[in-house]
Amino acid sequence: MTDSPEPKPIEVFVDADACPVKEEVYRVARRYGLKVYVVANGSVRVPREPLIELIAVEQGPDIADDWIAAHAESGDIVVTADIPLAHRCLQKCAEVVGPTGRPFTTNSIGAALAQRGIMEHLRSSGEITGGPKPFAPADRSRFLAALDEAINRSRRKRQTP
């Protein structure tokens, strides 16, 4: 009888520069005992706790995204509103949740990338697109539920041989 190695613990990666739900991530991660990497190229305050680590990357486009995509693995959780980053992390089989509680999935990412491309084209041609809706209390509740679901999916995946 061979002892199988313990599965790698789930880690949470937060694309932090404009993330409105960092405190919620910390609270849920504490409850589950998960390591959180808060990745930012700006000044972000994080609690001084062993399970929460600030990763300060250099200024520049996509540097924080590149760090997250390089470190997130199958079954990890990524919190981001960045659609290309979500796509990269889904390709590595990570769970990806947007700050409004929208889960990114392999089934939904294609449409999200297409819509992003259309909106970029409209903006570059001078169209006024209005931007995203303001963050609302209902978004926070949806995020908490979606994060819980993502963690439980990851836990089930990691327990399955």
Has residue 39 been placed in a domain? yes
- Band (39; pLDDT cuts 50, 70, 90): very high
CA atoms within 13 A on the CB side of 11: 17
The rounded mean pLDDT for the chain is: 85
* Model pLDDT, residue 18: 82
Has residue 58 been placed in a domain? yes
Could you report the per-residue pLDDT of 140-155, keeping only the tens digit for each? Answer: 999 999 999 999 999 9
Q: Specify the CATH number for the domain of residue 73.
A: 3.40.50
User: In which domain, by residue range, is 45 found?
Assistant: 11-128+136-159
* Model pLDDT, residue 6: 73
Q: How far apart are CA 8 and CA 74, in angstroms?
A: 10
User: Which residue, 29, 21, 136, is CA-closest to 80?
Assistant: 21
Has residue 105 been placed in a domain? yes
For the chain, the domain total comes to 1
- Band (38; pLDDT cuts 50, 70, 90): very high
- Band (17; pLDDT cuts 50, 70, 90): confident
Burial (CB count within 10 angstroms: exposed 0-12, middle 13-18, buried 19+), residue 77: buried
* Model pLDDT, residue 117: 54
Angle CA 54–76–81, to nearest 5: 70
Q: Tell me the mean pLDDT in the region 19-32.
A: 96
Q: How far apart are CA 96 and CA 15, in angstroms?
A: 11
Burial (CB count within 10 angstroms: exposed 0-12, middle 13-18, buried 19+), residue 13: buried
Could you report the per-residue pLDDT of 45-101, keeping only the tens digit for each? Answer: 999 999 999 999 998 888 999 999 999 999 999 999 888 999 999 999 999 999 999
* Model pLDDT, residue 60: 86
Q: Tell me the mean pLDDT in the region 27-36.
A: 96
- 4 pLDDT above the threshold of 80: no
Has residue 107 been placed in a domain? yes
